[in-house]
Structures are given as structure tokens and as C-alpha cells.
Amino acid sequence: MPRPTSALALGGAFVTTLLLAGPTTAQDYDPEARLAEMGITLPEGRVEGRMFNQAVQTGNLVFTSGHAPCGEWPEEAGEFRGRGKVPSEVSTEMAQLAARQVVVCTLANLKAHLGDLSRVTRVVRVFGMVNSDADFTGQSGVMNAASQLLMDVFGEERGRHVRSAVGMVSLPVGLTVEIEMVFEVENN
Amino acid sequence: MPRPTSALALGGAFVTTLLLAGPTTAQDYDPEARLAEMGITLPEGRVEGRMFNQAVQTGNLVFTSGHAPCGEWPEEAGEFRGRGKVPSEVSTEMAQLAARQVVVCTLANLKAHLGDLSRVTRVVRVFGMVNSDADFTGQSGVMNAASQLLMDVFGEERGRHVRSAVGMVSLPVGLTVEIEMVFEVENN
Amino acid sequence: MPRPTSALALGGAFVTTLLLAGPTTAQDYDPEARLAEMGITLPEGRVEGRMFNQAVQTGNLVFTSGHAPCGEWPEEAGEFRGRGKVPSEVSTEMAQLAARQVVVCTLANLKAHLGDLSRVTRVVRVFGMVNSDADFTGQSGVMNAASQLLMDVFGEERGRHVRSAVGMVSLPVGLTVEIEMVFEVENN
């Protein structure tokens, strides 16, 4: 005896509607194409380091190490390469460029782990550490550059994460920004 | 045809026993009633922000953003609204009130995500960041106010978490305390 | 005619080869024996504290609290017991000893939770916080001592983690190093 139309079948119809609905469809989900459209080239990534890894997967979560910036810096960065304290040595605007390049570097290493960034189903957590003077209170503004880039690349729905933006008294090699993340990915 | 006694049915009997067992039973687990008993009213929560979310769920883990305090402050807070460094600008006692209001704010946003706080099965992780002078060493004391509130609300068993209490050189908008958490929740 | 060497059979042969290959085989996976070989005795561990726990498991992840050092210090530590800021009060070399004793203390409490450390399938995340002067930039060097010990104990494959090494303006009771970790463990 045939089973009646089930909730699952209705779910299927709903998914079909979503797929036809425009810019937020699964078909359009291509983070690497989005990076290319934005003129961002990921540098060659690498998972394994000497003392620790840049990414470790457990279940369908990928944890990434606290990253430094890398990749090609935009012209407005001038000679700045992401070192120094905010704001006594580095302006908020420059720190935002650093935050952005830290995301670029994280995505490069994440791609080395995943093969393709379209396997990311959700950016879960962003922990943004800004090398700060004791009276600097603009860490959120600095980290907005990272959050915006993640939403631009992964889309509003998958790119939206929880975030902490905090002030560190100092960071390795004098980094301006170090970011640690957690991503949810498709099961293998 | 009657169904055989299954493992599930036995499981049901076990659950019934638990329900009759006294103060730790599932029936008593009502974090929102506990809040009310303590005279704490959660403010209206909100999950989605402009640049990031206050809560993101992956599997049965909910990560929450680094939160600022919100909600109704107790009378002893006076004009204090959770800004300033410990101890040069803010006493440990005032910082404890800030920590408590950060938990209140996190629970308000968590409730907005979950619908009901009784869906929390475990408070997993509390990362407590205290805006500190370089010689302040009392971060644990500040964070005890947050830990105590979590145990009061969720009970000794579910409320008990791992914790780090640490000193930040500065925090966004001069916050005294920012807390990031992870909760385990019932599967959807 | 019997055949066929299957992919699975080849896989089996490959695994056998690994098992015969020496120090990295599954049979050899005995983190507690490795600790003993290195002359490290874990102190008595403890999961439950007054205000929070040292370890909380959710699914097959164990989160551990930000730990202080404990256990038997090596002779070269002299009177140093892991208090003070780097480098004005504590040298990088001494801070490395502190980092190592923090790992020892974490493993002691993790063993109290798991029963046996061989249930660890992966060290996932190491968040290393170094009590730092504003111009200290050597946090990675300090944390290498912790990473190396984890790889020595759990082996190159399981011991490799993601890591952040960061500078804190101050830590509870003046700790030199506090470390928070996440471990993946066998399902119960």
C-alpha cells in the first residue's frame, strides 16, 4: 500500500522552491569563485607545520590555528605587513587590512585541508585577537573586516558566525591581528 | 498485535524512575523558573546581528559570541554598567556584577535561539575575559560570579563547565568582562 | 582461480606493515608508558572543582579548563613554580618549563576523567596563554614546549593539534602560562 505524502516529501518540495529562488541557492554556493570575483588569490596553503597543524578536523568540525596574515596585500597596505600595536603603531584601518589577510591565510590553509572551500557548510566561530594598547577599545571595528570578508565569501547564511573581538597585550612576532576559527564542513 | 517489550520500553521505565527520584529529576529542570525565583528577568534576546550572530548551533553544540552585559542591573551596581579596568577603575565586586550580567545577556540570546532554556543539557565551556591591569591576579574571583549563576540556573550537574579566567589588556568599548561560551543542547 | 587482491586486502597489508614498522604502530600507542619512559609521573588528577570542572565531555570531545602547572618540576626549574611575567620576571626557558607542567597537569586531570589516556584519539586544540610584557613577542617559543610534549606523549599523528599562542596582560594568581585544550576521545 502506498504511503501517503509525508513530511519528508513536503520537505523536498520546500527544498526545490529554495533551489529556484535565486542568489541564495545551493547551486550558487562557490566560495572560491566569490574570492576570484573579489580579486583575492589564495596563496598555496599548508596543513602541517613543524610543531602543530594549521587545521585539525574532528567529526564535521574543523578547528584552525591562530593565524597570522599572508597572501597578497592590497595596495593601500603600503609597506604594512601586519605587525604592530593598535593604535600607537598601527591605525584601525591598517589593522582591518591585517584582519582581512588573516582570513585569507586561514582560508588558504583550510582549502589545503578540505580540497575545496565549498565543503564548508558554516563558519561557526571567529576568535579575533587584536594587539592593543591598554586604552584601545575599537577591537570590534577591526574584526568587522574579517567578518565582512567571511560573509562575502561564504554568503550571509553560511558565513555568519559567533565572534569575540578582544585586546591582547602582545602577540607572537608582534602580529597586529591573530584569528582562531572553527568551521562546520560536510561529512567526509 | 501487541509489540514486544523493547529496549525502548525499558528505557521508559528507567526514565520514570528518575522522574520520581527527587530534586535532581528531569521534572525539576526548569532553568527559566530558576531565573524567576532568583528575581532575574531575561531581556529580549536576539540571535542575528549586523556582522555576526550571538549564537550558532552545529550538531548539538551551541557556540555563543563574546558577550557584553545587558539586562536589569541589581541595585548595588549603582551607576556602573560594566565598563572599565580592574582594579584601577572597577573593583572586584563590581566586576562580579558585570560577569553576572554577561551571563544574563548570553542566556537571553541563547533563549532566543533555543526557544526554551530547558533544552540546554550541559554548560560546556566558559571563557571569561576580564579587562585587567597588568598586576591584577584576581580573574578567578571575578568569574566565580558567572560560574555560580550558571550552576544556580542549570543545576550542579548540567551547570558545571570547564572554565578559563584570563586578563585582557583591553576589550571592545572598554567592557569590564566579556564571556564566550559553549552549550550542549538537545538534538532538534 | 582465487583472486583477487582487493583494495581492502591491500589496505590490510598496508596496515600490517604499519603494525610491524616500529614506534608509530597502533600497538605501541600507550601514552602513559611514554610518560613513564620520559620520567614524568602524573600527579593525582581530579575532575570536579568547587566552581567548575577540569574536564567536560560532550560527544567524543573533551574540553579542559584553562590549567595552571602542577606535578613534579624538573630540577632545572629551581624554585620557579610557574608564576610571573615574561620576560621581565621569567625567562623564556623558565616559561617553557611552566608550559610543560601545565600539560602535565592537564593530562593528570584528563586521565582522572578518561581512566586511561590511550582513549585519546587526537589532541585537537591548544590555546596557550602567556603572561606577557607589552613588548614580548616570543609566545610561540614558549608554547613549543607544550606542543613537543604532546607529540612525544601521543605520537606525531594523534598529538598534532591546532594552536594559538598569545600574550595576556595578566593571569589568575600571576600564572606564567595557562593552557586550555580540546581532545577527541574514543566513544564511550
Using an 8 Å CB-CB cutoff, list residues of chain A that contact chain B. 59-61, 122, 124-127, 132-140, 144, 147-148, 151, 160-169, 182, 184
Question: Max Cα separation, chain A?
Answer: 76
- Name all chains with 3 or more CB-CB pairs below 8 Å to chain A: B, C
Tell how strand C162-168 and strand C55-58 pair up: unpaired
Alpha-carbon span B157 to B121, nearest angstrom? 9
**C63 with B148: Cβ contact below 8 A:** no
- Please give, rounded to a whole number of angstroms, the shortest distance from the CA of C186 to a CA of chain A: 12
**B160 with C52: Cβ contact below 8 A:** yes
Q: What is the ipTM of this complex?
A: 0.86
Count other C-beta atoms under 10 Å from residue C75's C-beta.
6
- Among the partner-chain residues A61, A133, A147, the one whose CB lies closest to the CB of B51 is A147
Distance separating the N- and C-terminal Cα atoms of chain C:
44
- Please give, rounded to a whole number of angstroms, the shortest distance from the CA of A44 to a CA of chain B: 28
Beta partners for residue C83, in sequence order: C175
- Annotate chain B with DSSP letters as a single string: -PPPP-HHHHHHHHHHHHHTS-TTSGGG--HHHHHHHTTPPPPPP--B-SSSBSEEEETTEEEEEEEPP-SPPPGGGTT--SBS-BTTTS-HHHHHHHHHHHHHHHHHHHHHHHSSGGGEEEEEEEEEEEEB-TT---HHHHHHHHHHHHHHHHHHHHH--EEEEEEESB-GGGBSEEEEEEEEE---
Cell numbers linked to C3: 583472486
C93-150 pLDDT tens trace:
999 999 999 999 999 999 999 999 999 999 999 999 999 999 999 999 999 999 999 9
Q: What domains lie within chain C, and their CATH numbers?
A: 30-185 (3.30.1330.40)
Q: B110 with B153: CB under 8 angstroms?
A: no
The tens place of each residue's pLDDT in chain A, 188 residues long, gives: 344 334 333 344 444 334 444 444 555 899 999 999 999 999 999 999 999 999 999 999 999 999 999 999 999 999 999 999 999 999 999 999 999 999 999 999 999 999 999 999 999 999 999 999 999 999 999 999 999 999 999 999 999 999 999 999 999 999 999 999 999 999 86
Distance of CA B170 to the CA centre of its chain: 23
**For the CA atoms of chain A, what is the radius of gyration?**
19
**B54 with A162: Cβ contact below 8 A:** yes
**C135 with A168: Cβ contact below 8 A:** no
Which amino acid, C176? T
Q: C20 with C86: CB under 8 angstroms?
A: no
- Name all chains with 3 or more CB-CB pairs below 8 Å to chain C: A, B
Give the global pTM: 0.88
